[in-house]
Amino acid sequence: MEQIGLHTKGEVDINEILESLTKHPNYHQAGAIASFIGVVRMDPVRTGTGNVSHLEYEAYSEVALKKLEEIRQLMLKHSGIIEVSIHHVIDKLEVGEPSLMVAVLGKHRQEVFATLEDTVERVKHDVPIWKKEFTDNGAYWVSTSEGS
């Protein structure tokens, strides 16, 4: 399994990602794996717009994949980090469905947790992936400054 990817709904799941980390050649050096799964929430980014029914994600795929790999390579330079896996779903997603999955393999939990958070924040702010929120009262594009 590739360690980065843009996927349609159902193409990848967190179990596949975690399993791929356990097959890493340096897995025996690991003391921790941490994962993050971002899911579509019902609460809208903008108040007064009603409940979210679904999101639609779009990406500039060529650049997004390049940026995901750049983030991965940067995170691999963190002390104690063995592997980083970053996968984003680009599709129509209903409330409760996963949109972003990140997993970090490392020597110690503190390093793994810090790298996991750093990775998620960089993906949210640096990768050209956009989401459109569909609510009871209409739809709108969400900017990174509005929320994640």
How far is 114 from 81, CA to CA, in rounded Å? 10
pLDDT at 2 over 70: yes
Strand partners, 37: 101
Task: Report the mean per-residue pLDDT for the chain.
Answer: 96
How far is 50 from 40, CA to CA, in rounded Å? 15
Angle, helices 61-76 vs 109-126, to 10°: value is: 160
Going along the chain from its start, the domains and CATH numbers come out as 4-141 (3.90.1170.40)
Q: Which amino acid belongs to residue 102?
A: V
Q: Are 4 and 87 in contact (CB under 8 A)?
A: yes
pLDDT at 66 over 90: yes
pLDDT at 148 over 80: no
Please provide the size of the chain in residues.
Answer: 148
Q: Are 142 and 133 in contact (CB under 8 A)?
A: yes
pLDDT at 5 over 90: yes
Per-residue pLDDT tens digits for 13-29:
999 999 999 999 999 99
Q: What is the pLDDT of residue 110?
A: 98
Q: What is the pLDDT of residue 146?
A: 75
